[in-house]
Structure 1
Amino acid sequence: MPPPTYPALSYELYPPRNAAAEESLWTSIRRLEDTRPDFVSVTYGAAGSNRETAIHLLRRLLTETTLRPLAHLTCVGTSRAELTQIVERLIGGGVRGILALRGDAPEGFEAAAGDVEHADDLVRLIREVEGRRTAQLAAGRVSVGVAAYATRHPDSPSVEQDIEVLLAKEEAGADFAITQVFFTPSDYTRLVTRARRAGVTIPIIPGVMPLTSTRRLKKLAGLAGVDVDETLWAKLDGARTDEERRRVGVTATVGLARAALDDGAPGIHLYTFNEHAAALDVLDALDLERPPEAGLAASL
């Protein structure tokens, strides 16, 4: 009998901006660690603006926790030589997962000849570095993730173009994709249907976020290039307390995640904003079945 399969569980974290934020982040890390996620992704600012802080966080996650970090890496605004050095540094430091992203170009940015301009090229670069590190990796592989868009990417002419880009990332060597946020269950369903018809075979993990304020909803919609969900906005705006707003956001997120899982999603990726409470509320409501403790397998 084949072993049981479990939905993947992961969280996104971002490096703290100051000492107070760092203390709060590590409270969240310890609470999220108790849920035994498959990985946690660590993001950083545009063009790697706080890359060193992110690398410091990655190092601490590797040495002070049981968590498996997935390092965000963007290519726009960074030379090929620097990207190669960063990938070498990540792998040398023990990172075994990288999320390869294009990133947002700084205003007035123009790529130089030979620069890595797109995510599929970054995936290839990671694989090239990996190929030179096979001994260090014990003949293993770095797990490479990429972004997918349940609604049209703001810089894309069409959703069809988005699927072509996703297919190119897979052909370059990507192992899985995580979606940007979306507000309607059918958005994820349509994305997966279009992707499979086009020949995309990698797992596509839905990314969801507990939206607990209108300010965050507006900011996120702007960053992701998606329209604000008017129904959710109205409910958040009409809530009279923070606790009521949290319940509204958690309920909406649980609905999206459950619909995606029912539709065959391989797991759930939770964008946390470095806050554990709402993320844990979502997880409790979903009641995801998790694999047994690793220690149980060690005795086999």
Structure 2
Amino acid sequence: MSPTLNPALKPELAPIARSLAAGGQNLKVSFEFFPPKTEEMETTLWESIRRLAPLNPDFVSVTYGAGGSTRERTHRTVKRMLDQTELKPAAHLTCVDASRDEVDEVIRGYWDAGVRHIVALRGDPPSGFGDYVPRADGYQNATELTAAIRRIGDFEVSVGVYPEKHPQSPSLAFDLDVLRQKVDSGATRGISQFFFEPATFLRFRDAVADAGIQIDLTPGIMPVTNFKGLRRMAAACDAQIPAWLAALFDGLDDDAETRKLLASAVAVELCLGLEREGVENFHFYTLNRADLVFAICRILGITVAAQ
């Protein structure tokens, strides 16, 4: 005789099943790409864009290299998105190694091309390393850059936030003051640096709310496939790599397939943990690869838009 389920028990859907049952109805996703350096990378980028576009992202952002080194390639990629897709591109822009007039010209160029969303960042030094030294005739920081963007056009302006504190900031309180200045200058969204535990972002979200700063915050999600590369990126921005994550990837340098499986599991668990706490927007750092991000979005209940 088959055992019967105790009627007093009310099993709850597992997180993934619950997410799929809800159909991702309240979630919004966005994707970050970087402009390609070679013809082969160009092909990979556009294959990824075509793969992810049917998920109907809220926007897609295109990065801007250290010292403005990818300025033309960023503009070209954004223009092609506008011309050949239905996507809403958000162009990254920095104030490094450029005069105010030069930056203003780029902003006007984006407006004339049809771009209505800019990600305003201070940016890295031309070498990508070392101390940031603003030009005397340039915008000094992302706050000044945000004000310039809003002065030139009615853009949506996203800015970067660091849940674990900016690596060059003396304190989280200082970061919050800077964020307040960005909001006062017209910033409308904060996109976070990557992190790996829900509590990291949630503590920052609470700190922003407690400080009375009103801005939409979107967590940045980095699916991990190359752990050595992740260590380098984390060191550059002082992002903490939990011991459990390091242990998970230990000994897998030559096992790319297993790393992919683990990467998707870690990212899904992170997103579902955030979703349980009311987070509804996720920004994925794709590294111009679509497979993992597409799978993660499907597990979150985000389906391909009807054609």
TM normalised by structure 2 equals 0.86
Displacement after TM superposition at 1:223 (Å): 2.7
Q: 1:109 to 1:179 in 2, by over 3 A?
A: closer
Counterpart of 1:250?
Answer: 264
Count of aligned residue pairs for this structure pair: 280
Residues 209 and 57 of structure 1: is their aligned pair in 2 closer, same or farther, counting only changes over 3 Å?
Answer: same
- Aligned equivalents of 1:18, 1:289: Cα separation in 2: 32
Select 2:84's aligned residue among 53, 56, 64: 64
Shift of 1:114: 4.5
Q: Deviations over 1:128-170 (max 9, x none)?
A: 111xxxxxxxxxx311101111111100011111111111111
AA paired with 1:242?
Answer: A
**1:11-68 deviation line (CA, Å, top 9, x unaligned):** 0000011001101111101001111111100002101101101110001000001111
2:236 is matched with which residue? 223
| Unmatched 5+ stretches in structure 2 | 1-23
Name the residue aligned to 1:266: 280
Using the TM superposition, give the Cα deviation of residue 198 of structure 1 relative to its aligned residue in structure 2, in angstroms: 0.7
Quick check: 1:11 aligned with 2:22? no
Instruction: List aligned pairs for 1:1-300, cutoff 5 A.
Output: 6-106=26-126, 107=130, 110-130=133-153, 141-239=154-252, 241-288=255-302
Secondary structure of 2:67's counterpart equals helix
1:67-87: CA deviation from partner (whole Å, max 9, x where unpaired): 110000011222111111010
Retained in 2: the 8 A contact 1:181–1:224? no
User: 2: CA distance between counterparts of 1:241 and 1:108?
Assistant: 37
Structure 2 letter corresponding to 1:111: P
Separation in structure 2 between the aligned mates of residue 13 and residue 245 of structure 1, nearest angstrom:
21
Identity percentage over the alignment?
35
Amino acid at match of 1:124: A
Give, in whole Å, the separation in 2 of the partners of 1:71 and 1:5.
27
CA–CA distance in 2 between the matches of 1:23 and 1:5? 32
Q: Secondary structure at the match of 1:160?
A: helix
The CA distance in 2 between the partners of 1:44 and 1:202, in whole Å, is: 23
Secondary structure (helix, strand or coil) at the match of 1:235 reads: helix
In structure 2, the partner of 1:134 is: none
Unaligned runs of 5+ in 1: 131-140, 296-300
CA shift, 1:111, in A, is: 2.9
Higher relative contact order (CA 8 A, sep 6+): 2
Write the distance in 2 (CA, Å) between the matches of 1:247 and 1:68.
30
Classify 1:280/1:5 alpha carbon distance in 2 versus 1 (closer, same or farther; 3 Å): closer
